[in-house]
């Protein structure tokens, strides 16, 4: 309506000769507007009448108080208050109860710890509470920040701006973001199908890989989904570390393809490459006498990932029933030097020794989750890692290097009251530590309140 007015006004202003036409247009649009407003009033009256009829019917209506307005609304809210520009806010509440063996320093056998805390949290605990703020910044950018809060610390999990107006399928993200590598990496813990990250992700990144930097994506203009992405940034997170330097500290490349098979099936497959470097990345080792020693790695770390997801839902309607299969594989190569040292005078590393360091390690997981009723889902996950080749050069004599194949099997059932609340029971047999079988029970809840976020595929 306003547009018509504006156009009429413009026309009138620009050319005098067409003034009469402009007048006509203005009159027409006024008539249109009057028509519309009468239509609205009639509709409102009709509804009032219908409601009066409903009320005159015996009882019942009062039994179910309705949160709905009695009239109709004509146009999108005209409130216009500055408040309306407030970002979409949502808060994720998560907590769990866990039964498992008491293992003070949990790590994955045959792999360097990626610095994950809280893994020995037994009994009741509250997970990070995530505060999500998101909004369009202007017609060109959208921004989102996620602050994860727990016990006196608040961590910026994500804080990025995403381009909206570049075009040609190009998307640009700046800031701290979840890397687009793999499949699970971009998903938030609350959107995952199991209570914990797969061993593979814990071994690779601790939980998932975030980058401080720039992400560039390109979506091909083809009916088949084909997306190419490149990232470069600080590369400070495990397997890299902060190296205080100019230029880029790490980068990633990824490609995803996907599509439909018939109306009931969707799939996506991808391949990704992540390169970063570490300087004096310290981790705990055992020396050949079984004493604690420190190993500091300096060098390059390269990770390859392959991912595949298949989703099925009858008629493509996932509400009542659906099945999801996903699997990922990774292989990581690290090349550089290892400096072995120890505070213990009797250790073989008492005098620091620098040696070559070369590893090639891999792992995979596969999982299936079946939603058999609108509220219920059940899932199974199997995972296995391979400590692979670990060549410590001259330090091989000083440090214990043993091969190991960590394994874990998990089963879960979850119940969702609505899209916004879920409770989950998970049983797992964890054989990721040498000589130990840990049977774990987890009961977890995930609640999201506030704005209705959209989830990735």
Partner 1 sequence: MRKLLSSLLLMLAALPAWANLNIFATVPEWGALAREIGGDKVRVYTATTAFQDPHRIEAKPSLLAQARQAQLVVAAGADLEIGWLPLVQRDSGNPAIQGGRPGYFEAAAYVNRLDVPTVLDRAHGDVHAAGNPHTHLDPRNVLKVGEALTARMSELDAANAALYQANFKTFSGKWQAAIKRWEQEAAPLRGVAVLVHHASFAYLDNWLGLKEVGTLEPKPGIEPTSGHLSELLTRQQTMPAKMVLRAAYQQDGPSQWMAGKTGMPAIMLPYTVGGSAEAKDLAGLFDDTVQRLLKGLR
Bond preceding residue 339 cis, omega within 30 of 0: no
Contact letters (x/-) for partner 1, 162-201, by CB under 8 A? Answer: x-xxxxxxxx------------------------------
Closest CA to 439 of 16, 24, 57, 99: 99
Instruction: Tell me the number of residues near partner 1 by CB under 8 A.
Output: 75
Hey, which residues between 104 and 143 contact partner 1 (CB under 8 A)? 136, 139, 142
> Closest distance between partner 1 and the C-beta of residue 223, in Å?
6
Give the contacts of 248 (CB within 8 A, at least 6 positions apart): 213, 232, 233, 234, 235
Hey, which residues between 386 and 405 contact partner 1 (CB under 8 A)? none
**Burial class of residue 51, CB neighbours in 10 A (0-12, 13-18, 19+):** middle
β-bridge pairing 436-450 and 421-433: antiparallel
Hey, which residues between 41 and 100 contact partner 1 (CB under 8 A)? 43-44, 46-47, 50, 53-54, 57-60, 63-64, 67-69, 72-77
Stretch that binds partner 1, among 148-156, 255-263, 356-364, 383-391 (CB under 8 A): 255-263
Compare residues 58 and 290 and give the one whose CB is closer to partner 1.
Answer: 58
Structure tokens at 193: 């199908």
275, 279, 282, 288: CA torsion to nearest 10:
90
Compare residues 149 and 191 and give the one whose CB is closer to partner 1.
Answer: 191
Binder of partner 1 out of 104, 244, 262, 455 (CB under 8 A): 455
Give the contacts of 366 (CB within 8 A, at least 6 positions apart): 325, 326, 327, 381, 382, 383
Q: How far apart are CA 345 and CA 339, in angstroms?
A: 16
Compare residues 204 and 309 and give the one whose CB is closer to partner 1.
Answer: 309
Compare residues 42 and 394 and give the one whose CB is closer to partner 1.
Answer: 42
Compare residues 382 and 420 and give the one whose CB is closer to partner 1.
Answer: 420
User: Rounded to an integer, what is the distance from CA 401 to the centroid of its chain?
Assistant: 35
Stretch that binds partner 1, among 231-239, 257-265, 347-355, 394-402 (CB under 8 A): 257-265
Stretch that binds partner 1, among 78-86, 151-159, 206-214, 318-326 (CB under 8 A): 318-326
Q: How far apart are CA 396 and CA 391, in angstroms?
A: 7
> Closest distance between partner 1 and the C-beta of residue 318, in Å?
6
Helix (H) / strand (E) containing 225: strand 225-233
Stretch that binds partner 1, among 205-213, 217-225, 271-279, 428-436 (CB under 8 A): 217-225
> Closest distance between partner 1 and the C-beta of residue 333, in Å?
24
């Amino acid at each position: 309506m306003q547009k018509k007015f504006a156009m009429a006004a413009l026309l009138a202003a620009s050319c005098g000769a067409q003034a009469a036409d402009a007048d006509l247009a203005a009159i027409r649009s006024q008539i249109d507007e009057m028509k519309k407003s009468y239509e609205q009033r009639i509709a409102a009256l009709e509804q009032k009448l219908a409601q009066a009829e409903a009320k005159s019917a015996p009882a019942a209506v009062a039994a179910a108080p309705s949160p709905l307005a009695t009239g109709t609304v004509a146009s999108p809210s005209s409130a216009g208050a500055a408040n309306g520009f407030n970002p979409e806010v949502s808060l994720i509440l998560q907590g769990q109860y866990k039964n498992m063996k008491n293992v003070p320093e949990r790590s994955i056998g045959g792999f360097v710890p990626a610095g994950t805390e809280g893994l020995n949290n037994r009994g009741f605990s509250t997970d990070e509470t995530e505060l999500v703020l998101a909004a369009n910044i202007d017609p060109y950018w959208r921004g989102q920040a996620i602050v994860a809060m727990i016990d006196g610390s608040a961590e910026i999990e994500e804080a990025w701006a995403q381009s909206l107006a570049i075009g040609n399928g190009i998307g640009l993200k700046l800031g701290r973001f979840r890397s687009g590598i793999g499949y699970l990496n971009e998903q938030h813990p609350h959107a995952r199908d199991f209570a914990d990250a797969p061993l593979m992700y814990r071994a690779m990144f601790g939980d998932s890989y975030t980058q401080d930097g720039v992400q560039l994506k390109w979506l091909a203009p083809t009916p088949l989904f084909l997306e190419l992405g490149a990232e470069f940034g600080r590369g400070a997170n495990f397997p890299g570390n902060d190296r205080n330097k100019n230029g880029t500290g790490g980068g990633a490349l990824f490609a995803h393809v996907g599509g439909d098979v018939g109306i009931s099936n969707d799939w996506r497959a991808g391949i990704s490459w992540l390169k970063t470097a570490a300087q004096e990345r310290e981790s705990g080792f055992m020396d050949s006498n079984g004493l604690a020693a420190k190993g500091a790695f300096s060098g390059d770390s390269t990770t390859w990932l392959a991912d595949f997801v298949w989703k099925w839902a009858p008629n493509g309607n996932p509400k009542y029933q659906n099945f999801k299969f996903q699997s990922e594989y990774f292989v990581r190569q690290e090349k550089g030097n290892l400096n072995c040292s120890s505070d213990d005078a009797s250790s073989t590393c008492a005098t620091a020794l620098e040696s070559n360091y070369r590893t090639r390690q891999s792992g995979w997981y596969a999982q299936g989750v079946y939603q058999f009723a609108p509220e219920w889902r059940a899932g199974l996950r199997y995972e296995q890692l391979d400590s692979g080749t670990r060549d410590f050069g001259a330090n091989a004599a000083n440090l214990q290097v043993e091969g190991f194949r960590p394994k874990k099997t998990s089963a879960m059932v979850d119940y969702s009251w609505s899209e916004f609340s879920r409770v989950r029971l998970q049983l797992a047999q964890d054989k990721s530590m040498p000589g130990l079988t840990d049977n774990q029970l987890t009961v977890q809840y995930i609640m999201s309140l506030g704005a209705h976020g959209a989830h990735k595929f």
